[in-house]
Amino acid sequence: MSHPLLIIMDNAVRDMLDEWVLTLCIVLSIAAIACPLLILFGLKQGVVQSVRDEFIKDPTYREIRPRESVEYAPDFFATLEADPRVEVVVPNITRSASSLRFETADGNRSDNIDTHPTAAGDPLLSLNGVKVPGVGEVVVSAPLAEAFDIGVDDILTLLVSRRYEGKSQRAEERSRVVGVLDPRADAKNGLYVPLALAVDIESFRFGRDVTRAGWPAGTVPKTREVIDELVVGCEAELAPGAVSRATIRTEFKGHRALTADEFASLWPGASRSDLTWQAFRATGGPTSERNVKALRSELRGLGCKHYLRRVDSRAATLAEGRALELVGLSLEERDQDLFDVGFARAPDERFVDSLRAVASSTDGLEADSMVMLEAPVGSKALSLAVRIESLSEAVPAGTLVVPLELLARLRTGDETPVRYDESAGEVVIGELGYSGFRAYARSIDDVPALAGDITRLGGVEVIARTDEIERARLLDQGLTKIVWIIAIVGLVGGAGALIASLIASVERKKSEMGTYRLLGFGRASVAAFPVVQGVLIALFAVGLAGALYLVFGRVVDEVLGTGGAGVGGGGIVRLLPAQFAVFAVGLALVAALCASFAAVRSMRIEPAEALRAE
Partner 1 sequence: MNEVIRLRDMEKRREKAGSKFRLSVPEFSVGAGDFVAVVGESGCGKSTLMDMLALVLRPSSVGEFTLRDGDGTTRDVGVLWEADAQRELAELRKGQLGYVLQAGGLFPYLSVAENAMLPRRLKGLAASRERLRELAHGIGLVVGDAGPDRAPGWLDALDFSLLDKKPRHLSGGQRQRAAILRALLSEPSVILADEPTAAVDRLNAESIMSEFRRVAENSGVAIVMVTHDRSLARAHVERAYTFGRPRRDPDSGFVVSTLVETDVAAL
* Residue 614 binds to partner 1 (criterion: CB under 8 A): yes
**Which listed residue (522, 543, 569, 570) binds partner 1 by CB under 8 A?**
522
Q: Residues 283, 345, 302, CA angle at the centre, nearest 5°?
A: 60
Select the span of 1-9, 36-44, 389-397, 482-490 touching partner 1 (CB under 8 A).
Answer: 1-9
What is the closest distance, in whole angstroms, from the C-beta atom of residue 601 to partner 1 in the complex? 19
Which is nearer to partner 1, 178 or 528 (by Cβ)?
528
Label each residue of 63-113 as H, E or C: EEEECCCCCCCCCHHHHHHHCCCEEEEEEECCHHHCEEEEEECCCCECCCE
Residue type, 501: S
d(CA 101, CA 189): 11
Which is nearer to partner 1, 22 or 475 (by Cβ)?
22
**Which listed residue (72, 521, 540, 549) binds partner 1 by CB under 8 A?**
521
Phi, psi (deg, nearest 5) at residue 168: -85, 135
Select the span of 111-119, 130-138, 492-500, 602-610 touching partner 1 (CB under 8 A).
Answer: 602-610
What is the closest distance, in whole angstroms, from the C-beta atom of residue 591 to partner 1 in the complex? 21
Q: Residues 30, 524, 589, CA angle at the centre, nearest 5°?
A: 30
Which is nearer to partner 1, 7 or 152 (by Cβ)?
7
What is the closest distance, in whole angstroms, from the C-beta atom of residue 532 to partner 1 in the complex? 13
What is the closest distance, in whole angstroms, from the C-beta atom of residue 503 to partner 1 in the complex? 19
* Residue 578 binds to partner 1 (criterion: CB under 8 A): no
What is the closest distance, in whole angstroms, from the C-beta atom of residue 546 to partner 1 in the complex? 28
β strands within 93-225, DSSP E: 99-104, 113-118, 137-141, 155-164, 167-181, 190-194
What is the closest distance, in whole angstroms, from the C-beta atom of residue 34 to partner 1 in the complex? 26
- The per-residue b/e assignment along 241-261, b for 16 or more CB within 10 angstroms, e otherwise, is ebbeebbeebbbeebeebeee
Quick one: DSSP state of residue 222? B
d(CA 573, CA 558): 10
* Residue 4 binds to partner 1 (criterion: CB under 8 A): yes
d(CA 528, CA 340): 108
101 strand-pairing partners: 159
Of 517, 502, 504, 503, the closest CA to residue 610 belongs to 517
Select the span of 13-21, 256-264, 292-300, 459-467 touching partner 1 (CB under 8 A).
Answer: 13-21
What is the closest distance, in whole angstroms, from the C-beta atom of residue 497 to partner 1 in the complex? 22
**Which listed residue (5, 11, 224, 394) binds partner 1 by CB under 8 A?**
11
* Residue 606 binds to partner 1 (criterion: CB under 8 A): yes
Cα dihedral sign, 430-431-432-437: negative
Which is nearer to partner 1, 22 or 457 (by Cβ)?
22
**Which listed residue (19, 182, 340, 353) binds partner 1 by CB under 8 A?**
19
Long-range contacts of 522-526 (CB under 8 A, 24+ apart): 522/4, 523/603, 524/5, 524/603, 525/4, 525/5, 525/7, 525/8, 526/8, 526/602, 526/603, 526/605
How many residues appear in the chain?
Answer: 614
Three-class SS state of 142: helix
Select the span of 10-18, 43-51, 382-390, 484-492 touching partner 1 (CB under 8 A).
Answer: 10-18
Helix (H) or strand (E) holding 612: helix 608-612
**Which listed residue (112, 408, 511, 601) binds partner 1 by CB under 8 A?**
511
* Residue 518 binds to partner 1 (criterion: CB under 8 A): yes
**Which listed residue (5, 9, 18, 442) binds partner 1 by CB under 8 A?**
18
Quick one: DSSP state of residue 269? T
d(CA 411, CA 311): 7
Of 524, 460, 515, 611, the closest CA to residue 73 belongs to 460
Binding-site size for partner 1 (CB under 8 A) equals: 27
β strands within 272-423, DSSP E: 276-281, 304-310, 314-318, 323-328, 330-331, 343-344, 356-360, 369-377, 380-392, 399-402, 418-421
d(CA 177, CA 171): 19
d(CA 613, CA 507): 12
Which is nearer to partner 1, 22 or 70 (by Cβ)?
22
Of 355, 247, 376, the closest CA to residue 313 belongs to 376
Which is nearer to partner 1, 17 or 323 (by Cβ)?
17
* Residue 21 binds to partner 1 (criterion: CB under 8 A): no
What is the closest distance, in whole angstroms, from the C-beta atom of residue 3 to partner 1 in the complex? 9
Select the span of 242-250, 279-287, 516-524, 594-602 touching partner 1 (CB under 8 A).
Answer: 516-524
What is the closest distance, in whole angstroms, from the C-beta atom of residue 4 to partner 1 in the complex? 6
Which is nearer to partner 1, 17 or 213 (by Cβ)?
17
* Residue 14 binds to partner 1 (criterion: CB under 8 A): yes
Which is nearer to partner 1, 7 or 365 (by Cβ)?
7
Which is nearer to partner 1, 419 or 509 (by Cβ)?
509
* Residue 17 binds to partner 1 (criterion: CB under 8 A): yes
Quick one: DSSP state of residue 605? -
* Residue 7 binds to partner 1 (criterion: CB under 8 A): yes
* Residue 519 binds to partner 1 (criterion: CB under 8 A): yes
What is the closest distance, in whole angstroms, from the C-beta atom of residue 7 to partner 1 in the complex? 6
**Which listed residue (270, 331, 469, 610) binds partner 1 by CB under 8 A?**
610
**Which listed residue (120, 370, 585, 611) binds partner 1 by CB under 8 A?**
611
| 3-state class percentages of the chain: helix first, strand second, coil last, to nearest 5 | 45, 25, 30
Contacts to partner 1 by CB under 8 A: 1-2, 4, 7, 11, 14-15, 17-19, 511-512, 515, 517-522, 606-608, 610-614
